[in-house]
Structure 1
Amino acid sequence: MGIIEGPDAALLKENHLSAELTRLRTGLRAARERRVTQPGSSARTAILRGAKVALHSPGSSRSDLDIYIYGFQKNMIQRPVLMLFCGLPGSGKTTFARERERETGAIRFSTDEWMADLGIDFFDEMRDKLQVRLNELWKELLEHGQSVILEDGTWKREERDALRRVAKRLNAITEVHYFDVPFAELWRRLELRNANPTYGTVPITKELLEESLRRLQRPDMGELSLFDRCVVHSW
């Protein structure tokens, strides 16, 4: 779909968004109904808006990834995980989030990719409405015991505090990843990305990156210690 324009743009985009979110909810309900709960059952896979949720048998062999409490097979006996990121554009959040998604079965939320799917400009005012609806969805998933990954970088302390409170209310484990990458390295990566953009990536100018850096509130060890798990990715 191309960029939506014209006097009816807002209505068309909102209707499209509602339809996409309805399809996601339908897929989630179907996946919950198909959840594997008996030892020895074969693995199943559900495709939910491009997020691959592997439903492995509880009787399968354990691995290092079992340390991470993700996936439908864990929901009946353990708490889900809310994974959130803090990092600027170009710090590696998307690459890492996709790896975690593939390895753990958690459902990944990327606002940029949803904007691309809907054919909406990344900086359109519809972004705020989309963010509200996506927030409702991931909270619903967490409440049903499904682990989620919030790929969007949380730059402000108050955002991270709010997410941690939500996770606590829903009895979820909190895991924060802080991507500490120098400005020069961020801009080097973004220049390469801007020259060869991949699907769902936002073009970032040096001025926009500088503005983002000014807005970033870096988490200190005191804040990181408030999470159940914390990982600092240093370059």
Structure 2
Amino acid sequence: MGTIHLILGPQGAGKSTYARHLAEQEHAVRFSIDEWMQQMFAPDMPAGLNLAWIMERVRRCEAQIWAVASQVCKNQGHVILDLGFTKLESRQHFRTLAVSIGAGIQLHVLDAPQAVRKERVMKRNLDKGDTYSFEVTPMMFDFMDKEFQRPTDEELQQAIIVPPSQGAAA
């Protein structure tokens, strides 16, 4: 059975950059929720920020990502899940799914000071580099930053803590 790597951290912590490097290192299949949402639903997004509309589509993407990721693991492959994991409930859900198929699981936690993360996100908006999927406004950043649930002590005990420099965009 393969291993499922959950990449966790607030916006701008370097999750996507780290996930890309980890996927290469582990010869793993990487799934990024931002890429899926951009490709599947961005053209149809209604004007204005509609969180209910967005979250319904995030749940659909997560279900399909899991359907494919679980097949990869069952075939001895490794999977990187760069799904944000903003909420503890979401992290627990994917851990439960991994356990249910007998997959190995590894949590990777990234973080950086808020000012550094916000600067990274605003720079990403301008540069539109490899990890850019959509523009994150300062208002969106502040909203999502408040929504992020920090990892519990139990999660941290079992996690790989990634130094801020390893998550930074190259």
Matched length = 153
Equivalent residue of 1:121, what SS? helix
Q: Which residue, out of 113, 129, 141, partners 1:182?
A: 113
Question: Superposition pairs for residues 19-168 of structure 1, below 5 Å?
Answer: 79-118=1-40, 120-121=41-42, 124=45, 125=53, 126-168=57-99
The C-alpha deviation readout for 1:187-228, integer Å capped at 9, x for no partner, is 111111111113552211111111111111111322333x4x
Q: 2:88 and 2:136 mapped to 1: Cα distance? A: 23
Aligned to 2:141: 209
The letter of the residue matching 1:207 is M
Maintained 8 Å contact 1:155/1:216: yes
Q: Is the 8 A contact 1:109 1:149 kept in 2?
A: yes
Secondary structure of the structure 1 residue equivalent to 2:81:
strand
Deviations 1:93-133 (A, max 9, x none): 11111111112211000122234444x41783444433322
* Residues 116-155 of structure 1 deviation map (CA, whole Å, 9 limit, x = unaligned): 444x417834444333222211122222322100012101
- Report runs of 4+ in structure 1 exceeding 6 Å deviation: none
Which stretch shows the higher mean deviation, 128-137 or 204-213?
A: 128-137
What CA RMSD, in Å, does the superposition of the two structures yield over aligned residues? 2.1
Give the C-alpha shift of residue 164 in structure 1: 1.3
- Deviation of 1:92 after TM superposition, in Å, equals 0.7
Residues 8-58 of structure 1 deviation map (CA, whole Å, 9 limit, x = unaligned): xxxxxxxxxxxxxxxxxxxxxxxxxxxxxxxxxxxxxxxxxxxxxxxxxxx
More helix by share: 2
Corresponding letter in the other structure for 1:208: M
- Given the superposition, is the C-alpha separation of residues 127 and 153 from structure 1 closer, same or farther in structure 2, using an over 3 Å criterion? closer
Gaps of 5+ in 2: 46-52, 165-170
Which has the higher relative contact order, 1 or 2, with Cα contacts under 8 A spaced 6 or more apart? Answer: 2
> Quick one: which amino acid aligns to residue 67 of structure 2?
E
The percent identity for this pair of structures is 25
Q: State which structure, 1 or 2, has the greater radius of gyration over its C-alpha atoms.
A: 1
- Contact 2:11/2:145 (8 A) holds in 1: no
Give the C-alpha shift of residue 231 in structure 1: 1.3
| Residue aligned with 2:83, SS | strand
Residues 67-110 of structure 1: CA distance to partner in whole angstroms, max 9, x if unpaired?
xxxxxxxxxxxx41110011122111111111111122110001
Q: Is the 8 A contact 2:38 2:134 kept in 1?
A: no
| Aligned amino acid, residue 214 of structure 1 | K
TM-score by length of 1: 0.59
Query: Aligned AA for 2:161?
Result: V
Q: Equivalent residue for 1:34?
A: none
